[in-house]
Amino acid sequence: MSSEENLQSVNNKRPNDQVVNTWSIGDSQDVLSKIINELCDLYIKEVMKGNSEYSILHTINHYLANRQQIPEEIINLCLNNQENPIIKYNPIIQNILACCYSYGKWIKKDENQVFFHYKKSAEMNDSIGINGLGRCYENGIGVEKKQS
C-alpha cells in the first residue's frame, strides 16, 4: 500500500462523516506533516508534565480517538514511511515508535524494534532517545545484557 493510500485509508475511517477532520487537507505530504507535528507537540507536552511512556501512549490514544483517527493506522503510517524525512529525521516519532514496540501498543511487542528506534533517536542527540537506549543496554532490551 502506498503512502497516499495509507493516508486515504486513515482519513476514510471516520465513523461520522459530519465531523470535520482537520487532517484532511489535500496533499498527502501536508497531511503526514500535520499528523506528525500534532503527535510530536502532544508527546512533548506530556513529557514536560513528567508522564510515563505508557501514560503518554494512553494520552495519544485518547487524542486520536477524539479526532476520529485510528491509532494503529497512524503508527503504521509512520512505520511504512520511515524513509520520509518528516519521520526519518524526527527523534520524537522514533521515541513514540519505541514506546509502541515496548508496550505492544498498536503493534506487536518487539524488543529489537525498541532498541532500533531508541538508537535512531539517540543518534539524533535526543535526550529521551539516549536515555531509552541506555535502558535497553542496562536491561538487555534488544541487545545482549553485559554482566559487570
State the cell numbers at 97.
515508535
pTM of the model: 0.80
- Is-contact 92 40, C-beta < 8 A? yes
Question: In whole angstroms, what is the distance from residue 57 CA to residue 142 CA?
Answer: 21
pLDDT tens sequence across 105-133:
999 999 999 999 999 999 999 999 999 99
Question: In whole angstroms, what is the distance from residue 19 CA to residue 17 CA?
Answer: 5
State the cell numbers at 38.
500534532
More confident residue, 32 or 138: 138
Cell 503512502 identifies what position? 3
Q: How many CB atoms lie within 10 A of CB 80?
A: 16
Question: In whole angstroms, what is the distance from residue 101 CA to residue 108 CA?
Answer: 6
Q: Hey, where are the domains in the chain?
A: 3-110
The set of residues, in sequence order, having a beta carbon less than 8 Å from that of 79 and lying 6+ positions away, is 97, 107
Question: In whole angstroms, what is the distance from residue 40 CA to residue 90 CA?
Answer: 9
Give me the pLDDT at residue 148, please: 65
pLDDT tens sequence across 24-76:
434 577 888 898 999 999 999 999 999 999 999 999 999 999 999 999 999 99
Catalogue the long-range contacts made by 116-125 (C-beta closer than 8 Å, 24 or more residues apart): 116/142, 118/94, 120/91, 120/94, 121/91, 121/92, 121/94, 121/95, 124/89, 124/91, 124/94, 125/91
DSSP 26: S
Question: In whole angstroms, what is the distance from residue 19 CA to residue 7 CA?
Answer: 17
